[in-house]
Amino acid sequence: MKKYLYLLFVAVLGGAIALGGAKLLQEEDLGRFDDNPVTTAKFTNYTSPSYTTAVPSEGFTTAAERVLPVVVHIRASKQVENSGRQLDLRNIPAPFRDFFERQGPQGQAPGGDQMQQGTGSGVIISSDGYIVTNNHVAGDASELQVTLHDGRVYDAEVVGADPSTDIAVIKIDDAALPHINFANSDDVRVGEWVVAVGNPFNLASTVTAGIVSAKGRSINILQDQAPIESFIQTDAVVNPGNSGGALVNLNGDLIGINTAIASPTGVYAGYAFAVPSNIAAKVIKDLKEFGVVQRGYLGAIIRGIDGNFAKENDLSVNEGVYIQELNEDGAAAAAGIKPGDVVLYVDEMQTKTSSALLEAIGRKRPGEEVTLTVLRNGNEREIDVVLRNREGTTDVVKKGTPAQALAAMGATFETITKEEARAEGIDGGVRVKAVGPGKLAQQTEIREGFIITRVDKQKVTTKEDLIEKLENVEGGLLLEGKYPGQRRNEYYAIGMQ
């Protein structure tokens, strides 16, 4: 008994010593921070959240259930000349090469050519079989195969494609198909939840979720003479094969077409970009109606404004779009816009950046009128502008016309003078004044200054001759000419399909 009482005494004594030591240590620790006592104060900008969870209570199931049946898998095949080299990847911008899942050559096509294959995604937009996808997925495909969510397989044909926005429309032969509803992408807010649906790595019907990270993002990837980049940026996971898939809100309505990723590795690294649904809707309507996009142009060289540029140019605003130069036959010049003007609004749409201005104008057709609110000499004024096409008219651009072929080449041309022709020992010709994104840059190594003297072996001496030769071009054309001071002729073949 004495032994147990002794053990109890020792235990109580040990506990008392431990508590006393802890109290002593606590007092010493608190004493070190007497100058910064703990309080219950909060930052003045702190507010209690009005929601109980960051994720919607029903999760993302509503969006997934509505969208999965309308997202398709696309297998695209392209006939490649068997010249001992692989497909020229310059035809696909670098970010797209990673996003559009390519597969190797798949045997021989008639004539010994190879078939290059790749896979992507698409979204059914109408019950009668119209599907929207990316231009870099289907735009120049010779064969298309579409697999629906339920496993049905169809051959598809290209209705039209638009390199300026990287949107293409294809069609399958069926009716009573499920299709997606479009949302107003202008209403999308940074920070809201979104869902991406596509077919990455050939994994059919994959759903991921994230938030809108930014809007109106331009990343300089579209290889066209007049690209329109105003992407929705999201952190929803997308990967190779997601090209052309759907980006939707929590209701399952389309807000964008997934188009590119920014990645040092070729797979998802936190940044994905989608063409806003409002841009896609306009392009789709034009492609279905005309086969080619009817796009209005201001006819101006523009640039965005930041604090440094505003200071250098003595501007009173740090946001907006600065008019640097005007085309003589452009819509802006005809309306009275002047170099140095700062565009603040197009109609009621604020244009803080160049991408916002390009998006606003790109939604319009030649002949349509817009009201620009510009800042000139510190004063705001409204100017009505009737938009024109690339050729400086308000005419409808038809598929296969010289204007479309000329635009597709992605270069500007001018007739050489009689003195220049005499110095070169030729009757006349058309100089390549500038080479921009387009078929000339993608398919040839033609340089600025090249003088075209023949097209498909027929003589051309003026720019008008060149345009006339493009009127009924089919398949491709052969350019013949010379560089200034050079005796021998050079030849460049271009595929126009």
State the catalytic residue, choosing from 136, 162, 164, 341. 136
Active-site residue (options: 140, 166, 224, 341): 166
State yes or no: 242 annotated in a binding site.
yes
Share of the chain above pLDDT 70, in %: 78
For range 88-93, the mean pLDDT: 42
Per-residue pLDDT for 395 more than 60? yes
Question: Residue 82 above 60 pLDDT?
Answer: no
Is 251 annotated for ligand binding?
A: no
pLDDT of residue 393: 87
The span from the CA of 196 to the CA of 369, in Å, is 36
Parallel/antiparallel/unpaired status of strands 206-217 and 193-198: antiparallel
* pLDDT level of residue 470 (50, 70, 90 thresholds): confident
The full 3-state SS of 72-121, as one line of letters, equals EEEEEEEEECCCCCCCCHHHCCHHHHHHCEEEEEEEECHHHCEEEEEEEE
What DSSP designation does 93 have? -
248-283 residue pLDDT tens: 999 999 999 999 887 777 777 778 999 999 999 999
Give me the residue label for tokens 């094969």.
241
Full set of structural domains in the chain with CATH: 60-291 (2.40.10.120), 300-386 (2.30.42.10), 402-495 (2.30.42.10)
- SS3 per residue for 380-439: EEEEEEECECCCCCCCCCCCCCHHHHHHHHCEEEEECCHHHHHHHCCCCCEEEEEECCCH
Per-residue pLDDT, 128: 96
**How does pLDDT run across 105-131, given as a tens digit for each residue?**
555 544 445 677 889 999 999 999 999
pLDDT at 329: 83
User: Does the annotation mark 136 as catalytic?
Assistant: yes
pLDDT value of residue 17: 44
User: Residue 28 pLDDT more than 50?
Assistant: no
Q: Judge whether 460 and 450 are in contact, CB under 8 Å.
A: no
Residue 104 binned pLDDT confidence (cut-offs 50, 70, 90): low
144 near 75, Cβ under 8 Å? yes
Is 149 known to be catalytic? Answer: no
Active site residue 243: yes
pLDDT of 20 reads: 47
Query: Do the strands 143-147 and 153-162 form a parallel or antiparallel pair, or are they unpaired?
Result: antiparallel
Instruction: Pick the closest to residue 363 from 230, 197, 457 (CA basis).
Output: 230
241 annotated as ligand-binding: yes
Dist CA 383 CA 343 (whole Å): 10
Q: Which residue has the tokens 């109609």?
A: 347
Greater confidence (405 vs 129) lies with: 129
CA 439/CA 446 separation, integer angstroms:
11
pLDDT of residue 84: 39
Q: Are 76 and 137 in contact (CB under 8 A)?
A: yes
Question: Whole-number mean pLDDT of the chain?
Answer: 81
Q: From the candidates 121, 213, 243, 354, which is the catalytic residue?
A: 243
166-175 pLDDT per residue, tens: 999 999 999 9
